[in-house]
Structure 1
Amino acid sequence: MKLATRTLNFLAILPLILSKEIAITCFYSEDCVLPCQSTYHNIIHWYKGLKAVHSFYQGKDQLSYQDKEYKGRTSLPIPSKISEGNVSLLLKHTGIQDEGKYKCYAASDTLNEENFVDVSVEAPVKSVDITIRNDTVTCSTTGVYPEPTVLWSSDPPAKNPPYTYHNKTDERLLAVTSELKIGSTNDVYTYNCSIKNTNDKTLYTASLKQQEISVEDEVILPCPFTKNNSFIFTFSTTVLSYDSKNSKQQIHDEWKDKVNFSPEDGTVQLHNLNRDQMLTYTCKTTTAQYITTKQILQGNEDTFKCPVTKDQYYNITLVFDTTVLDYDSQTLKKTILDKWTKKITFPSEDSGAVQLSDLNQKQHSGTYTCESSTAHTRYIIHTKVTLKGVRAHATLAIVIPLLLATFVTIMVIIYVKKKELSCYKKKPADINSPPKTNPENENLTAQPISKDSNGTQVM
């Protein structure tokens, strides 16, 4: 009797010992197939723990007991495929909550079989952003899962290790931020930040490079570029900056009569704008999480809000971005802002070098930003251009010959005037030369002189 009991117990746990278990990865928000093959297909049940995911028997789906979390998101193959042994589950619009172990139960009238599928969900890195603020370079990405790996490299080398943290979004995804303290900012630097998913070999890299140059009215600026990407070249001007820690607010001189800012709620009011200022404004808020909002203005007055927080200090920078050049290598479409058409040349679409010329010292000194991106890499290059002695070479080339020509002309005029004046000066008479004849009387005949008896000349 004891032997029989042991035999029955062995048979009861036999399906668990013989069951198969596989691990798969599903991608966030995409459809995913949980594979399962069985020769028994009269009754099919899919479970996740105690939750009923999907049921099939009597030749059709039976979803009255399906957990509400899976309503409208599951399906089995068509009946002909089921009869061939394919009892896989299609799970639509996969979310982080779908992670876990699923049981595939398939049975005939007399036999049954169980298989298990261990599901992990991944939201891969799609883009990486990099910014610099004061003494901190920030690298960030959002909408990823699980927590990725962040790698840094820099020139000059950073003295301090980076600090990386993450926050959860409403969809249970992660917003990852990595900060690198760099101390005092050099005029020339390069920072590279790479982020990759734990099980992914692909690196998504953001590079930030700054160089400061002083030129006259012509400059060639680099922009990393390949045939497979596009880039935007912008000329940016900081309109407003505000630091909540010390309540310090700075507004650029030319914008003081156009900007009103409310630190309490981040409201920015712009007014009295001209046509050239009805473009894109970017509000950058630096807190525990870097936030950027953009707004395109259509009229000469608008009001919008920059994100602010009440529980921590924040910095706000309002930037007026003018897109100078926009190029897409796939469509070969190149757009240059009208007033820059004669100032910008795009000589090499392989290297992305941009040549600027005929610049104005007051209007065109500032920061030029090149943003270039591919599927895995984003480059951001800030170039501070300080224009000195604008068009000096051209001015001298014109002014010096003009001065010489003017000098020669004046000397010739003086010489001619002197000659003319000399003609009016009377020269001393030569005692040996006969008296000159009046030209007006050259054709008159000389008449004899008559005198009276006293010797007086008679007229």
Structure 2
Amino acid sequence: MALWIRAVFLGFLTFVRTVNGEDAVDCVLGGSCILPCSFPPGGEVVLYWIQVATGNTIHYFYNNQDQVELQDQHFRGRTSLFKDQISRGNASLRLTGVQIQDQGRYRCYTSNKPGTKESFSNLNVYAPVRKVDIRQLENRITCSSEGIYPEPTLTWTTKPPFNETLQNQTTVQQTEQQLYSISSFLVASAPGLDYSCTVSTRVSQRRATWSLPTNISGSRTETTIRCRSSEGPPTGLIWRFNHSQIILNQTGTDYTTSEDWKKHVKSSSESGILTLKDLSSSQEGIYSCELSDAEETYSSFFLRLEGSPDSHNNVAEIAGWVIVVFVVCGLIAAAIFKLKYKKRKKNSQPNGQTSEEHEMNPLNGQKTEEDK
């Protein structure tokens, strides 16, 4: 059974679990961490910290000063004590630039006039899940995250809940730096569902939600699209076009617009409302928003531009030209047909007579006296 405690040491906040009578401390990779240790104060103290697995001394304090020459090289320059607190019984150790290799069990030994004391701390290093990316490519929805430690897990859920099991394929890889990356994809098997992907470890997790594209109509003159609101206070907002092209990046009320979109962005609110202006057909496509809080929520829209006076004029103009072309072509075809018809009729009668002249001639079809 583990008991969580929150300890504050001179402004440093750390979370400590007590497991079987020993402290277990979770430390962020690359950050600073405090291994707690206390003893009954009184008189001059000898204090040292040892890494149990290697037996190496990582910090040694004697005669009111650090004995750096006895410190293991791996920890050189990365450890310190709270010296103004030692006389009050605080032997806690601050470790900076935490590395995965620092994981393990540590022994704190103190000796002074009241006696000797030792305690143990178990240091666990983790790289939190900082970002989860979720995308849709055709009918596949993909989810990925990287730079994680320890090994993460990935789960899919839908809203509303889907009765059938979500068939997915998940891959986990580890880099030379021992950090993990994880990716997964599934086939969008039911319409009208929001797909959520959660990447988690024992100490951290984040979730991204993908809403299937919704058709909306907009004007070329001005169009407003809204991102789905987050569950908590938003900490950041990113708008993208066709998944990859960033429109703007926003923190609070301040936002930075990419160079290609400056002339099209009229305003953007902290709650996720984007107003665009002066659009053309090249801005028709998928608009997605990434609204961040404790999780990252993605909503997507397909924007179909219509209702613009310019667009109606263009359509009318094109339609007019099409009608003119059809009329001209029809007249030309009719004239050609009429000429061919007359020529064919004329050539089909003897002596070049027309059909009417041929019928009115009384000699047609009869022999003359000379023929007899």
Alignment TM-score, normalising by the size of structure 1: 0.53
- The amino acid across from 2:101 in the alignment is Q
- Aligned partner of 1:376 in structure 2 is 294
C-alpha distance in 2 between matches for 1:369 and 1:62? 61
Pair 381,54 (structure 1): closer, same or farther in 2 beyond 3 Å: same
Which string of whole-angstrom CA distances, capped at 9 and with x for unpartnered residues, describes residues 296-354 of structure 1? xxxxxxxxxxxxxxxxxxxxxxxxx3x54x3635244475868774x6655x8365344
1:83 aligned to 77, 81, 87, which one? 87
Shift of 1:82: 1.7
* Aligned 8 A contact 2:152 2:180 in 1: no
* CA 358–34 in structure 1, closer or farther in 2 if over 3 Å, else same: closer
Secondary structure, counterpart of 2:167 in structure 1:
coil
**Contact map agreement 1:21 1:117 (CA 8 A) in 2:** yes
* 2:74 counterpart letter in structure 1: E
CA RMSD of aligned residues (A): 3.8
CA contact (8 A) 1:55 1:61 kept: yes
- Are residues 1:171 and 2:177 paired? yes
Distance 1:173 1:167, change over 3 A: same
Superposition deviation, residue 112 in structure 1: 2.4
CA contact (8 A) 2:227 2:291 kept: no
CA, structure 1 residues 179+168, in 2 after alignment: closer, same or farther (shift >3 Å)?
same
Equivalent in 340, 360, 364 of residue 283 of structure 2: 364
1:154–1:216 CA distance, 2 compared to 1 (3 A): same
Q: Aligned partners of 1:206, 1:59: CA distance in 2, in Å?
A: 52
| Distance change (3 Å), C-alpha of 1:351 and 1:398 | farther
Report the alpha carbon displacement of residue 215 of structure 1 after superposing the two structures with TM: 4.5
**Alpha-carbon contact 1:191-1:208 (below 8 Å) kept:** yes
Residue deviations 1:376-422, cap 9 Å, x none? 232333433455797599549999xxxxxxxxxxxxxxxxxxxxxxx
Q: SS of the residue aligned with 1:228? A: coil
- 2:54 is aligned with 1:48: no
- Over 3 Å counting, the alpha-carbon distance change for 1:86 and 1:96 in structure 2 is same
Matched, 1:104 2:108: yes
- Counterparts in 2 of 1:338 and 1:62: CA distance versus 1, 3 Å: closer
User: Does the CA-based 8 Å contact 1:233-1:368 persist in structure 2?
Assistant: no
Q: Which has the higher contact order (CA 8 A, sep 6+)?
A: 1
In the alignment, structure 1 segments of 5+ residues that lack a partner are: 1-18, 238-281, 283-320, 400-459
SS of the residue 2:68 aligns to: coil
How big is each residue's C-alpha offset from its partner over 1:176-218, in whole Å with a ceiling of 9 and x where there is no partner?
A: 22332446x96x6532212333245xx5221222325374746
Map of 1:206 onto structure 2 = 208
Aligned-partner Cα distance in 2 for 1:194–1:20: 33
Report if the CA contact (8 A) 1:211-1:382 is conserved. yes
- 1:144 is matched with 148
Q: Which has the larger radius of gyration?
A: 1
**Which structure 2 residues correspond to residues 212-361 of structure 1 after superposition, within 5 A?**
213=215, 215=217, 217=219, 220-225=224-229, 228-236=234-242, 321=245, 323-324=246-247, 326=248, 328=250, 330-333=252-255, 335=257, 341=263, 346=267, 349=269, 352-354=272-274, 359-361=279-281
Distance 2:96 2:174 in 1: 23
How many angstroms apart in 1 are the aligned matches of 2:315 and 2:186? 49
Distance 1:394 1:225, change over 3 A: same
1:58 and 1:358 map into 2 onto residues whose CA distance is 75
Structure 2 unaligned segments of length 5 or more: list them. Answer: 1-19, 318-372
CA spacing shift, 1:374–1:233, aligned 2, 3 Å: closer
Distance 1:356 1:211, change over 3 A: same
Contact 1:149 1:198 in 2 (8 A): no
SS at match of 1:64: helix
Aligned-partner Cα distance in 1 for 2:261–2:34:
55
Following TM superposition, by how much is the alpha carbon of 1:87 offset from its aligned partner in structure 2, in angstroms? 1.4
Give 3-state SS (helix, strand or coil) of 1:153's partner.
strand
Q: How many residues align?
A: 288
Please say if residues 213 and 384 of structure 1, whose CA atoms lie closer than 8 Å, have aligned partners that are also in contact: yes
**TM-score of the two chains, using structure 2 as the length reference:** 0.63
- 8 A Cα contact 1:205 1:378, kept in partner: yes
Q: Identical aligned pairs, as a percentage?
A: 26
C-alpha contact (below 8 Å) 1:221/1:355 kept by paired residues: yes
